[in-house]
Every structure is written in C-alpha cells, then in structure tokens.
A and B are shown apart, each in its own frame.
Chain A
C-alpha cells in the first residue's frame, strides 16, 4: 500500500505577528495536524500495512526545511510543488489532485486543518475533486478486507461516529489520532540522502488561480484588563452586583 501525506509549512503558532495582509514569523513548522498525519502513515508502515510513504507540500524552497523534518521522521521521499503564490484551499486541493493522479496512492492522509488559516477545507475538496470517499476528523484508522476498505472513527460535535470508506480515500486527522514522534539524529542524517522532487503546476498539467484574496489582517481589540479577587465571597459579590450574571 502506498500512502501520500500532504503537509503545510505554517508560522510557529507560538510566535506570529501581523505584517500588512500577511502574518510574519521568525520560524516555520509543519502544521501540527499534518505531523499527526505523517506519524499515522509511519505507524501504518511499521505495522507492515504500507510499503511506501510519499510526502507532498507546495511552496518555494524555504519549505525544504519542513520537508527535511518530514523525511527525518521517516517519510520515504517527497515532492515539492514549486509555487510562490498565496493559494486558497481550493487551489491547493486542485494542485494536490494533480499530484494524486500522478502518484496513484491507495490512501491520502492529511491534517484536518492548517493552524494558520484554520480553514478545514482541503481534504474534503480533494476528495470531491477526485470523487473519492472521505473520512474527516479521524481519531482511529483500521484497514479491512485486504486493505480495500478503511474503518475510521470520526470526532463530531455530538460524540464519535464510525464509518467505513472504500479505498482509495482521503483521511483527515484529528488531535487524538496519535502523538507525533520526535525527529532523531540518525533520522536527520538519513533524511539528507532522501530525494525531493520539485515539480511545477505546468509540469503537473494543472492551471489554478486563487479565487480568495486576503485584503487585510488585524489583531482583534484586546479585552479590558480584569480584576483580581481575593476570596470566594468577593467573587460571588462581583458576579452578582457588578457583572449581574448570578
């Protein structure tokens, strides 16, 4: 079984600033949900259910650092689609769709959302474009029937749901699926020898134009500073008389 994992390079969530219509960051990292997707692919391979894990990301050469981290975690080889534009989720889904057609994996695993734009769209859009089944917000994956189907537990607003999807399918990961491993030193050394293939949209035969443009980004107004209370009595009094919520 061949697994394709896609990952996005995002600003380190602990260190972001606003700069015009973009966020700026001293450091980029792999989107945490995508890290969970990579970890899951590795575990599936470790269980002997997968033979190859291919990583894919879109961006300019600066994202090679995140690609190296993915390779160091254990991804076998990587594809970078070279594109410098601010792509919206639909454009990303279309580019990934072209990569999926080229690579023909049995399953695509990716994070349920990117922690920078918080859109939560790409996996579902990709599944729609390919006409593949999808399992989103997944916290457990099992392969059945000689890997022709996957049984997935999904986290929903009301609790948990179990569905089965025929393969090939798109699976998007939730937090509880696993705990990603740390990159080891031998992993990092090995990663240097692993291939990164650079492709363009032209080479993939896909023309996309982002239809969504960010006009501006701003910090929301700060909440007014709060009050320190010294006791339960004082808290109750404030909630009654000042806030009038009791």
Chain B
C-alpha cells in the first residue's frame, strides 16, 4: 500500500534528476509513497532509488517495456496504481510523463492536473496551483474523486534528500503477453552533449532568429555558453530555422528553466518564450531594438547588435 506512486523517469542508464522533484511534492502531500520504474534492465536504476524515503521501489522490468511506448506503459502504471491502492500518481512535467500519464489517468478513470507548481491545504482539502495561458496567470485547481494524476514542474520543487534508510525493491509481476501491441518503436535521434543539461544548468545562454544559421549559432551562443560553463537554449524561431535542435527550445511548449543566470541573445520576448524563463533569477537581454518586450522582464538590458557585443562579452569573461 502507498498513498502516492511516483513515476521515475530514466534514460535506460540513469535516473533523470528532475523526475525526483516529484518526490518533494509527495512529501508535502503526506502519507507514504512508492517509486515506480518501468523499462528493461533496471537493476542499477532501482538500486539508486532506495534512499529517498519511499516505502518501496517498485520495478516493472520486461523486454516488452524496453522502449517507452505509451499504450504499454500506461497500462502498467495504471495496474501498479490499482494494486498499491495509490490515491495520487505523480510524475514530472516531461514529454515522457505527458505522453504516458494522461493515458494512465484515463485507464484509472481519474482526472489529472498538469504542471503543478505549489499546493495549498485548507480545511483538510487540497488545491493545486498551476500556470495557464503561457504562464501569464496562475490557476488554483481543486480535484474531486478518490484518485488523481499530477505532473509537477521540477523547477518549482527542491530536489529530495537521499539520506533515508534503504527501502525494499519489489518486482512488479504482470503478464507481458497481455500488453497492447499497437505501437512500435522505430528509432531515436538524441544528441549527446558535453554541456550541462538545460533544465539543470546554473547558466543558460539562448539565441533567437538573428543568429542566422547553425554555425553562427554555435560560434556566438555556443561559445558564450562555454565561457560561462552553461547550457544552450533557443527560441522556437531559431529551432524552426534549423539553427538549433528542437530539444533546445525554451518556452510554453518547450522546456521550463530556472537558472541563476539567463542570457537572451536576439530574442524578442514573445509570451510563449517568456513562459519558459520566468523563474530565472537574473535575466540579461541583448537586443538591438530598445522596445523589444524581453526588456520588460530583463534584470539587465543592453541595447545593441549582438554580433558586436557577444564577441566582446566572450573576450572579457575569458580574460577574467
């Protein structure tokens, strides 16, 4: 039995750290919680999860689950939630969770709240705060029924401590032959980068439409990021123009970041982009248009041509 069940995301080698932040929300909700890992060849991953204060690490490991196909995963998650009697099923707001958890919610006949950033407890009932309209507003949402599915925005919750006494690892037995067969994995194209992960980086440098092409983008945005030991981000316009891959996209429909320092190079500041950078502590904007909307959100605004300014910036950071 577990009050909450947390879906932990991994890349087949290790746990994706942002998915651990959902544990912090489970702790705030109260009651015991179990961690669920789904996939194949999960021994190492399961072992790395035993100290987060869970009642158990539940492992659904089978060759049929080697790839994250939503029809199979959702069925396993729903079945695990039922068997454990979990009232709240949680995950992080990643494309993975957003693919499988709403489907699991439907199988459980349960409502779902996406992108929870805080909870509020009042007279024994709980409401969830979440951003809407590209983060320009917050809604407070109440949910009825005895089961619910939530995804949490990792940047809004602290990472949990891993200092509890180890919990047991239990294998989740199910009939793999009964899983649906309507989806097939074909291929995956992932970049491996030496730069820090966008959603965990302390510094993010990102570029917009005026960066022209891949080479220019790398020469200016990439080098400035490297000088600061930071990650790279991009606007949708830069992604669409082929300057940067889609997983660099920051915003309403891209990644949500919360670095110490965010540097926006040639970015107008469309509401959909701002949605992803609002939680940055310091925002620097460099734009040649003094009226660019990004300046309304910038901590430091520098009006000018990025083609002149960025090389100077790289130079002075290197000199220091």
Known A-B contacts A157-B96, A160-B189; the reply to A23 vs B300 at CB < 8 A is no
Question: Is the C-beta of A227 less than 8 angstroms from some C-beta in chain B?
Answer: yes
- What A residues does B191 contact at CB under 8 A? 158-159
Q: Which residues of A contact B228 (CB under 8 A)?
A: 246
Whether A218 and B74, one on each chain, are in contact in the complex, defined by CB atoms closer than 8 angstroms, is no
CB pair B240–A176 under 8 Å, yes or no, is yes
What is the minimal beta-carbon distance from B225 to any residue of chain A, in angstroms?
A: 14
Which 7 pairs between the two chains have the least Cβ-Cβ distance? A128-B106, A133-B182, A124-B102, A128-B103, A121-B102, A211-B111, A125-B106
Q: Is the CB of B104 within 8 A of A128?
A: yes
Q: Cβ of A212 and Cβ of B184 under 8 Å apart? A: no
- Say if the beta carbon of A185 comes within 8 Å of chain B: no
A137 interfacial contact with B, CB 8 Å: yes
Most B C-beta atoms less than 10 A away, residue of A14, A125, A129, A243:
A125
A217-B145 contact in complex given A151-B186, A176-B246, C-beta closer than 8 Å:
no
A118, B106: Cβ atoms closer than 8 Å: no
A133-B183 contact in complex given A219-B137, A235-B300, C-beta closer than 8 Å:
yes
Q: How far is B183's CA from A88's CA once the two chains are assembled, in angstroms?
A: 27
Interface footprint category on B: 35 or more
Min C-beta distance of A148 to chain B, whole Å: 11
- Chain B residues positioned under 8 Å from A106 (CB to CB): none
Residue of A nearest to B315 (CB): A232
- Asked if B21 is at the interface (CB within 8 A of a chain A CB), the reply is no
Known: A93-B106, A125-B106, A160-B188. A120 touches B114 (CB 8 A): yes
CB contact under 8 A between A118 and B182, given known A136-B70, A156-B95, A228-B303: no
- Residues of B contacting A: mostly: mixed
Q: How far is the CA of A47 from the CA of B25 in the complex (A)?
A: 48
A: number of interface residues (CB 8 Å):
79
Q: Does A134 contact B (CB under 8 A)?
A: yes
State which residues 93-151 of A face B: CB under 8 Å.
93, 112-113, 115-129, 131-137, 139, 151
Given the interface pairs A89-B112, A115-B133, A220-B138, the reply to whether A137 lies near B95 with Cβ below 8 Å is yes
Which of the 9-residue segments B29-37, B170-178, B211-219, B252-260 touches chain A?
B252-260
Given contacts A128-B102, A175-B253, A223-B283, 11 further A-B contacts (CB under 8 A): A13-B133, A89-B102, A113-B253, A120-B98, A124-B74, A128-B74, A157-B247, A158-B11, A176-B246, A216-B139, A227-B301
B232: min CB distance to chain A, Å:
14
B142 within 8 Å of A (CB atoms): yes
